[in-house]
Structure 1
Amino acid sequence: MSTVLVIGAGGVSSVCVHKMAMNADIFNSIHLASRTKSKCDAIAASVKERTGQAVSTYEIDAEEVPAMINLIKKVQPSLVVNLALPYQDLPIMDACLAAGVDYLDTANYEPKDEAKFEYKWQWAYHDRFKEAGLMALLGSGFDPGVTSVFTMWLKKHKLKTIRQLDILDCNGGDHGQAFATNFNPEINIREVTAPARHWENGEWVETPAMQVKTEFDFDQVGTRNAYLMYHEELESLSKFIPELERARFWMTFGDEYIKHLTVLQNVGMTGIEPIKYQGREIVPLQFLAAVLPKPETLGETTTGNTNIGCIATGEALDGSGEKTFYINNICSHEAAYEETGNQGVSYTTGVPAMIGSALMVQGKWAGEGVFNMEEFDPDPFMDLLNEHGLPWNVVEMDGPVGF
């Protein structure tokens, strides 16, 4: 039994809090805070209606460290679950250190003024958390998160070494909007428009954004265009799998999304540098995010499936030579909405956040310092994916991918 404090009130947070409430034997006291308390109250009302469990709500600016410290001391949680924006990771980690509480997030820190997704800022906190006797778990979402666990499960049960790794993220859902993002618009567009990078022969290879693509036939979705991108789990996977020769991340986008994004880029709406407008300073991308549909509002109209997984090639554990395995999860948008009131992209991140939290508060994943998902036994996490709505499947392929 434990008390948890969740920061952030978007779609991922909504899923995570709903799933925590469905597991009251683990999370007996749930507290939710964000800059907009009304969003917390709406999630709490839905949780109460669906599960009968109460959620306490608060207003907080997560970048205000003294206020965060006060809130943590008031709630006295055993774990702070950061589901706010990546810009806020470091202030929340500072507050956890000052208040003496463990920390978990789903996405690595990035500075506001540069689309730079790196773990270096958070890895630098390792000694401070270790000295304080505290644990910080980074990236307990789907990608990063589940994809890292998938890879380490293959390394434990199927492959002695992993030579090549491809992570494929397909959202085959249709939300009926001309243009909308399925998670935070600002973070989504910053990711997509950043240069692509992949790991090859011990170094990073950079290519222009959205320039390299391939086709892949995704089960229960169909054939889709997948674009080479940079994603933060590539950094941690290349660190924890030293024999890795090549690691790539691919994400699918429809032609309409690409068309709209191209126009928005061309007219400057995806820029992150402040501009002056009518005497006020605004960031174009933040303004764009404010006028786009909120991801948490898309659940009711979204249909179809997500299909996210890893294809790994390496030396078989049983000594039978080189083999290739594909491990993935397929998630129904409709089923996710029926269970939690949120679409599948929020669900596939919110459920792993709950699972990582459960493993921490139960002491099944434990340590002192800052850790990535790859550093723990994958089996307990994989078991809980099957139990809590994200079942996975693994098959042997004929050989390495040809793209």
Structure 2
Amino acid sequence: VLAGVCEGLAAAGVPIWRGSLGMRAIDPTVRAMAVFWRQDRGVAAERTSHSEGEAQYRRSPISYLQDRGLLVHRWRLESGEGCQAYPILNDLRGEGATDYLMWLVRFGGLTASAMPGVAISIATKRPGGFTDDEIARFAAVLPALGLACYRISLSRTTGDLLSVYLGPMTAGRVLTGEAQRGIGRSVTAAILLADLRDFTALASREDPLRVVGWLDEHFEALGGPIAERNGEVLKFLGDGLLAVFPAGDLESAGADACGRALAAAEEALERTAALNARRRAAGQPELDLDVVLHIGEVVYGNVGAARRLDFTVIGRAVNEASRVESLCRELGRNLLLTAPFAALCGRESVSLGRFALRGIKNPIEVAVPLAPGSRT
């Protein structure tokens, strides 16, 4: 969109050398997004994290307009105006820019406080800068350009936030219309159930805000390996999580799903061990991680009240995995595989026996994986 506007006006005689769009993001890791067009380079995009966002904002001309409640301002770079206060203007002047204008186009609606609008700028290298007529021609397209930015950013924000809160796979299904209660489908999936041992006791004696920070660190150690292997975290269960690796057909794809789930679990345990080592060195409490891996048929869909739904998996296989997790402490193991999972995961394993579990009709056999290359 930005390239089309700038190139169109340039072709009509407006001497635009550089244009930009910048706006706030509603995202857990990204504070702001910007798109840049340059006559000699085309389009480039940039994202700013929350950690660096405030400092970058203060170095930007956007802060000048926001702090003063202005909707437009002009800096004549030929005379050095604004170059000491804003490094980007000094850089552009060094590249030959002579004139720079910025507008703020306000957004309305529910996102107005978090995503208030878009900052749009243009610059030229022509001596003397833009004429009043050229500025007016660009200003005339601002309402349409601002509306396009709003619609695009709102659409992307909706998809991104659904992905953050529901997971990419689930978000995709919701966005394609699967929002009615009772809609679901039966799928075969490898199930990963994880739990932080003794978390309840830790939470009862430590400062809640510190506990939340520690919990986030552990979930990061878990969530990264799962996402990297195309698994999906369906929900966080207080001090644990439930994730699935859809297998499609058990015969043809079960081994692949189980292999990915096992690799994710082992890496999560390695990351947790490294995290605990850092905690130990800092005199902070450690938390052991227990993981159970199972495979079976689950129902994947909407469950809940009419106006408050949860897109999740339910079924016997999920219940079985939950019951097996209670064996981790009893057996002194951080990673347990059910027999069906062990048979498909492509790794040698050692059976620990069959166990009767509460609420499960038949005893379940569990195993532990051997290191790659080991033999029973």
TM category (shorter chain) comes to under 0.3
Larger Rg: 2
RCO greater where, 1 or 2, for CA within 8 Å and sep 6 or more? 1
TM-score normalised by structure 1 residue count? 0.25
